[in-house]
Chains A and B, each alone.
Chain A
Amino acid sequence: MSLLDRILAGDRLALARLLTQIENESPAGFEALSGLFPRTGQAHMVGITGAPGTGKSTLVNRLALELRTRTQARVAIVAVDPSSPFTGGAILGDRIRMRDLTGDPGIFIRSMASRGALGGLARTTAAVVDALDGAGYSWILIETVGAGQAEVEIARTAHTTLVIEAPGMGDDVQAIKAGILEAADVLVVNKADLPGADNAVRALQSSLELASAVPRVWDHHGRLEPVDATQEARVAWVPPVLKTVAALGEGIHEVVDAILNHRTYLETTGGRARRDRDRLSHEVHALLSDRLLAEFLDSHASADLGAALEKVFARQASPRQVVESLLAARR
């Protein structure tokens, strides 16, 4: 029985083995994944991101339980932690907070090391998520590396992105900086029993208001007018700002409500299909550029590249000039 057949028969060890092969970028793994691909596109993917220590894993633990209870559907969790840039090793500790999920065969947790990728996910996270989707998990919760201001890769992978904040993480100017907050479909202030929670909520809410939550258009008399709310495609999603105490299970019901609402919103506005197309075309572009680079390096005499690099080191040619001449030589 092939690995693919075993996975489709519900063999969880076979699925785990496939995920390892995908992580190691083995040809056998990608072949099996291609076999699963026609079955993908069913799951709703929820990204959970935020700074280290804001309570992402604890929240994921609660969300998985609540989604499981309310929708009965199977839930997979992909939790990414950083690899050491020096040794390549990693401590994957997200399961520590997910002990309540043991013993339910409808929940599958997989830890991943980032293996040098920036952006909060590993290079193969999207493929691992596809495999879980194809294996029949309806909800996939993707927890990023503890993220700063620029790790917005998750917004491309997930349908619904939760950004987790905790009280005391910065003033209202932090809240209007570009980056991770723009990626949010739902904002969660966790540890809301700590002082400063209401301030954090206010800062986030006022930042959302600055972002013109009500979409406006110029009408043909030159005035700025609010868009008619009945124009379905133009109804904007306003990220709710919710308070939770994940360790105590407070506010979780409301977060799951927000996820379900956002899923309905995406389905009714065509946003889901658009996000899927964006994600898949990005994936194809990324693979294409990886492969083209690899082919170029394979086919090109490494001496040429070495000589070109020496020119750059000696400041005789800029990196851009060297790339131009390498490509010109190939044509």
Chain B
Amino acid sequence: MARKLRILIAKPGLDGHDRGAKVIARALRDAGMEVIYTGLRQTPEMIAEAALQEDVDAIGLSVLSGAHMALVPRVFELLAAQGQAGVPVLLGGIIPNEDIPVLRERGVTAIFGPGTTTDAVVAAFEQATAHGAPSP
């Protein structure tokens, strides 16, 4: 059977708005991907643990709370510590322009703000995972 892309969609931090994350999860599903959706208020530790157990091909984070500069680097630290430094991380939400270069530098593959189409997001996940999952 053909390999299926497995994508983790998670909402780190304390904001309570997950409609955006659900829209993305649904769009990826409709593009034929398997989306592990973990729900609201995830700690970076929970996200990293889910990424490990589920052996995901990419991670999508949705942050609307403004805490991205604390949460996103922490996710990268944990992924690296558990041998998953190569897993692409994509970010969506309310991210001020001045933070974007810093986050890209830290390793975020793509950043999506308001007004992004779901087609663009699906394409970005497809591109980010095009080289296959990191080998064991």
The answer to whether A92 touches B34, judged by C-beta atoms less than 8 angstroms apart, is yes
Smallest Cβ distance from B33 to chain A, in angstroms? 5
A-B contact pairs, 16 of them (CB 8 A): A12-B53, A17-B55, A20-B6, A24-B2, A88-B32, A89-B28, A89-B30, A90-B35, A91-B26, A91-B29, A92-B36, A95-B50, A96-B37, A102-B45, A108-B53, A115-B1
The answer to whether A109 touches B53, judged by C-beta atoms less than 8 angstroms apart, is yes
Smallest Cβ distance from B125 to chain A, in angstroms? 12
Residues of B contacting A91 with CB < 8 Å?
A: 25-26, 29, 35, 37
Q: Indicate whether B102 reaches chain A with its CB closer than 8 angstroms.
A: no
The answer to whether A96 touches B136, judged by C-beta atoms less than 8 angstroms apart, is no
Q: Indicate whether B54 reaches chain A with its CB closer than 8 angstroms.
A: yes
- A88 CA to B4 CA, complexed, in Å: 9
Q: Indicate whether B3 reaches chain A with its CB closer than 8 angstroms.
A: yes
| B interface residues, tally (CB under 8 Å) | 34
Interface size bucket, A side? 20 to 34
Instruction: Identify A3's interface contact among B2, B30, B43, B136, CB under 8 A.
Output: B136
Q: Indicate whether B31 reaches chain A with its CB closer than 8 angstroms.
A: yes
Question: Which residue of chain A is the closest to B10 with respect to CB atoms?
Answer: A95
Residues of B contacting A88 with CB < 8 Å?
A: 4, 32
| Residues of chain B whose beta carbon lies under 8 Å from any beta carbon of chain A | 1-4, 6, 25-26, 28-39, 42-43, 45-46, 49-50, 52-55, 82-84, 133, 136
On whether A16 and B54 interact (CB within 8 A), knowing A96-B37, A96-B38, the answer reads yes
Q: Indicate whether A253 reaches chain B with its CB closer than 8 angstroms.
A: no
Question: Which residue of chain B is the closest to A102 with respect to CB atoms?
Answer: B46
The answer to whether A24 touches B54, judged by C-beta atoms less than 8 angstroms apart, is no
Given contact pairs A87-B30, A90-B29, A115-B1, a sample of 17 additional A-B residue pairs in the complex whose CB atoms are under 8 Å apart: A3-B136, A20-B55, A24-B3, A83-B34, A87-B31, A89-B28, A89-B31, A89-B34, A91-B35, A92-B34, A92-B36, A95-B36, A96-B37, A99-B38, A109-B53, A111-B36, A115-B4
On whether A24 and B4 interact (CB within 8 A), knowing A13-B83, A17-B55, A99-B39, the answer reads yes
The answer to whether B37 touches A13, judged by C-beta atoms less than 8 angstroms apart, is no
Grouping DSSP codes into helix (H, G, I), strand (E, B) and loop, the A interface class, with mixed when no group exceeds half, is mixed
- A286 CA to B69 CA, complexed, in Å: 51
Smallest Cβ distance from B56 to chain A, in angstroms? 9
Question: Which residue of chain B is the closest to A93 with respect to CB atoms?
Answer: B37
The answer to whether B30 touches A14, judged by C-beta atoms less than 8 angstroms apart, is no
Q: Indicate whether A25 reaches chain B with its CB closer than 8 angstroms.
A: yes
- A182 CA to B113 CA, complexed, in Å: 52
Question: Which residue of chain A is the closest to B5 with respect to CB atoms?
Answer: A89
Residues of B contacting A17 with CB < 8 Å?
A: 55, 136
Interface centre among A19, A24, A96, A111 (most CB of B within 10 A): A111
Contacting B at CB under 8 A, from A18-39, are: 19-20, 23-25
The answer to whether B32 touches A89, judged by C-beta atoms less than 8 angstroms apart, is yes
Q: Indicate whether A321 reaches chain B with its CB closer than 8 angstroms.
A: no
Smallest Cβ distance from B107 to chain A, in angstroms? 19
- A161 CA to B115 CA, complexed, in Å: 47
Question: Which residue of chain B is the closest to A20 with respect to CB atoms?
Answer: B55
Residues of B contacting A13 with CB < 8 Å?
A: 52, 55, 82-84
